[in-house]
Structure 1
Amino acid sequence: MIKLIGVLIILIGFILKLDTIAVVLIAGVVTGLVGGLNFTEIFSILGNAFIKTRYMSLFLVTLPVIGMLERYGLRERATELIKNIKAVTTGKVLIIYTIIRELAAAFALSLGGHVQFIRPLIFPMAQGAAEANYDNLGEEEIEIIKGYAAASENYGNFFGQNVFIAAGGVLLIVGTLGELGIEVTPLQVSRASIPIAVIALIYATIQHHMLDKRLSKKLNKGKSE
């Protein structure tokens, strides 16, 4: 039972909102020590895991670049740019991004994700669109927009990626069904994913349109009061 202490460490770390990477590493080291491994063996396992997933290093390399861009005004420039576009709304910005993200995922083109794209670019643009339309945008509305911006990435990436015939998810589905005795081809899975991707896009479009209605109703009401 004590070997599950790593799970407890992760739960406590997440509850206290501590640094995610540090919490996970500490949990891994403690779990290894409890399991009878020494520090050399633990770090050897971590190093081998990192080497086997070298694509993660690309993610780590992008972080300081994005940090520098944000430091020198990327978010502010994105916000100001979107404010200068007439008839722009938060919902329209997110709808356009969802379409682009889903098409990119369908052709196996990566746009980065939440950290590399949503946080420094899409969210500031969505916030800028709201600020262009409402003078009384509050912290609560900003948090709502932040959530919808993150959701647009999830909709586009998650439901669009299996449209690509060689996507990892497609191959996983083919392999899993094959083990269950159900023979399908990657092309069949890809074709079956197309209507799901379309439905997801329609749903996201409706949801983002409703976001515009929600912001308009709340902020215009607050303005009149």
Structure 2
Amino acid sequence: MLVLIGVLLVVIGFALRLNPLVVVTVAGIITGFLGKLSPVEILNAFGNGFATSRSVTLFILVLPVIGLIERFGLQEQGRRLISRLAALTTGRLLLLYQLIRQVSSALGLATINGPAALVRPLIYPMAEGAAERRFGRALPEAMREKVKAYSASADTVGQFFGEDIFVAIGSILLITGFVDTTYHLKLDALNVALWAIPTAICAYAIHGTRLFLLDRRLDRMAKEAGLITRPPEPEAQEAGR
């Protein structure tokens, strides 16, 4: 049971908001020593873990591309686009994006979006631009951080609960393989994926409600900050209808 101290260290480190990379590394080293592994074996375990999960580092290849398109005005174009869609508020935009993210992940296209590829360069600037249009000025720091958090959550919840519907995703294969090798039971990957659909629907309904209510929360924060909500213009009302 001593090896479970590593899990406790991860929980404490995340609760204290320490550097996640340092927390996980220290917890892994301590867990290895408690498990009576030698330093070479611990280093080998880290190497094998990186080699088998190296696909998670593919986002590094995307960063130069994202930097270039941001340098040539992607965020500005996103803000300009959202300024023309007056009926699309911050909450409605993120609600729509979560739906797109969840459906695309369910179809096996989980890697085409993501925080680095789409949220940071486009979705968040558009969500912030919608809020700035609503209040007529730049947002205070607290409101910007709130929009950032909800933009990231729309992406995370959409992918996490959408990708399990795709029958060839790693989590489905892990479940079927674990049950097969441990309990000697045969699970059909298709059945596991189908049973993930009700969970995905509930996740979209629950978090979608939070996104739908985001505009009201931003309104309350704006009143506390002394901002005035701008009423929609007649053209925007007609566009909304």
TM-score with structure 2 setting the length: 0.73
Equivalent residue letter for 1:203: I
For 1:87 and 1:113, locate their aligned partners in 2 and report how far apart those are by CA, in whole Å.
25
In the TM superposition, 1:23-42 aligns within 5 A as: none
Which of 202, 205, 210 is the matching residue for 2:208?
A: 205
Match of 1:171 in 2: 173
Equivalent residue letter for 2:201: V
Percent sequence identity over matched residues? 36
Are 1:76 and 2:80 counterparts? Answer: no
TM-superposed deviation, 1:112: 3.3
In the TM superposition, 1:50-129 aligns within 5 A as: 52-56=52-56, 58-109=58-109, 110-129=111-130
Instruction: Give the SS at the match of 1:223.
Output: coil
Residues 1:148 and 1:184: Cα distance change in structure 2 (over 3 Å): same
TM-superposed deviation, 1:187: 1.1
**Residues 118-160 of structure 1, C-alpha deviation per residue, up to 9 Å, x if partnerless?**
1111111111111111125211011011111111011110000
Match of 2:140 in 1: 138
The answer to whether the Cα contact below 8 Å between 1:98 and 1:204 also exists between their aligned partners in 2 is no
Moved more, 173-182 or 99-108: 173-182
The answer to whether the Cα contact below 8 Å between 1:127 and 1:142 also exists between their aligned partners in 2 is yes
For 2:165 and 2:148, locate their aligned partners in 1 and report how far apart those are by CA, in whole Å.
27
Equivalent residue letter for 1:189: V
For 1:193 and 1:52, locate their aligned partners in 2 and report how far apart those are by CA, in whole Å.
26
Residues 1:103 and 1:16: Cα distance change in structure 2 (over 3 Å): closer
For 1:174 and 1:204, locate their aligned partners in 2 and report how far apart those are by CA, in whole Å.
28
Residues 1:28 and 1:194: Cα distance change in structure 2 (over 3 Å): closer
For 1:206 and 1:218, locate their aligned partners in 2 and report how far apart those are by CA, in whole Å.
18
For 2:147 and 2:27, locate their aligned partners in 1 and report how far apart those are by CA, in whole Å.
33
Equivalent residue letter for 1:172: L
The answer to whether the Cα contact below 8 Å between 1:165 and 1:186 also exists between their aligned partners in 2 is yes
Are 1:223 and 2:227 counterparts? Answer: yes
Runs of 4+ in 1 over 6 A off after TM superposition: 14-18, 20-29, 41-48
TM-superposed deviation, 1:173: 1.5
TM-superposed deviation, 1:85: 1.1
The answer to whether the Cα contact below 8 Å between 1:101 and 1:111 also exists between their aligned partners in 2 is no
Give the root-mean-square deviation of aligned CA atoms.
3.6
For 2:23 and 2:43, locate their aligned partners in 1 and report how far apart those are by CA, in whole Å.
16
Residues 1:185 and 1:16: Cα distance change in structure 2 (over 3 Å): closer
For 1:66 and 1:108, locate their aligned partners in 2 and report how far apart those are by CA, in whole Å.
22
Moved more, 201-210 or 132-141: 132-141
Instruction: Give the SS at the match of 1:183.
Output: coil
In structure 2, stretches of 5+ residues that fail to align are 230-241
For 1:80 and 1:167, locate their aligned partners in 2 and report how far apart those are by CA, in whole Å.
37
Match of 2:238 in 1: none
In structure 1, stretches of 5+ residues that fail to align are none
Which of 168, 191, 195 is the matching residue for 2:194?
A: 191
TM-score with structure 1 setting the length: 0.77
Instruction: Give the SS at the match of 2:227.
Output: helix
Equivalent residue letter for 2:116: V
